[in-house]
Amino acid sequence: MIKGITLVREVASADAHDKLSQLLLSLGFEQGKGWDDGTGRGVALLAPLGNLELITGRPPAVPSILIEVFNLDAIHSAVHQWMLANYRSEDVASLLGSPELTHWNSRLFTVKLTDGNTDGLVLGFWQSENPLHGKPAAIEGDLSAAGMRFAIVTARWNAVITDRLLQGSLDALHRSGAAKADIEIVRVPGAWEVPSAARTLAETKRFDAIITLGCLIRGETAHYEAIYNEVARGIGQSQQDTGIPHAFGVLTCETLEQALDRAGIKAGNKGFEAAIAAIEMVSIQRKIKAEDSK
């Protein structure tokens, strides 16, 4: 079975060998085991990922050594500084190219390492412009709520917080295309009652997802942890038993200030986040079911 791939390239001189090694090590390559037998020497430069690409029909339009990077502009700046330190400034402009768009949805720049007596070795540094490039194939949810039905269960206790959570959830759903007629809001006395209402709504099978909202503040009750554990357990059990996604938007905070921050003041709005999670989970369920029906 294949374990790895190694590309062995000759460089023109010991000086070029050292310069190239120094450059690649400075950019983040890991140094592997080297060798020196008196007639020549080598150094292994290790990268997390290796590829072998074979072509036919036309000469390659890129250097034979391509190095994929995460931040092309930062790499270009680092290479430029390294070139200025190792080559005459008047030569750098001809040896180092600028990042340019390619026809394969990427940006690329090239650098030539030479000792002045040979053509030298050309490296290409590139970064994909595709945000999904390199990610493993996976089923992921879309964030379109058009045609989906949602129920929102929100607690009246700590209404100064839960009303903000509710507005965040509604904002997320409407921004994502959910119709007002496809959203049903149910108010319950407190967080303790949220799981029961969520399960009743889920069992009707009228909704694609349930969004649960509440707020527990430790300083207000001595049995804070007992309530939170049962609320979390009840919501999770309802989701597992009914198969309907339940988005968890119940805040557990030490102080009212922390709760306000998580309800839209400083740390985002947990209600908005819960609604987005609900939309994505409905989309994922539909995609999985569609795959099964093929």
Q: Which residues are known to be catalytic? A: 223
CA 232 to chain centre: 27
What is d(CA 249, CA 114) in angstroms, rounded to the nearest whole number? 60
Of 271, 194, 273, 203, the residue nearest 232 (C-alpha): 194
Q: Is 108 exposed, middle or buried (0-12, 13-18, 19+ CB in 10 A)?
A: buried
Return the bridge partners of 250, or none. Answer: 214
Cβ atoms of 148 and 43 closer than 8 Å: no
Task: Name which of 20, 123, 121, 10 is nearest 68 in CA terms.
Answer: 123
Quick one: tokens of 155? Answer: 């607690």
The Cα 98–Cα 100 span in angstroms is 6
The residue assigned the tokens 């554990």 is: 229
Q: Which residues contact 8 (CB under 8 A, 6 or more apart)?
A: 42
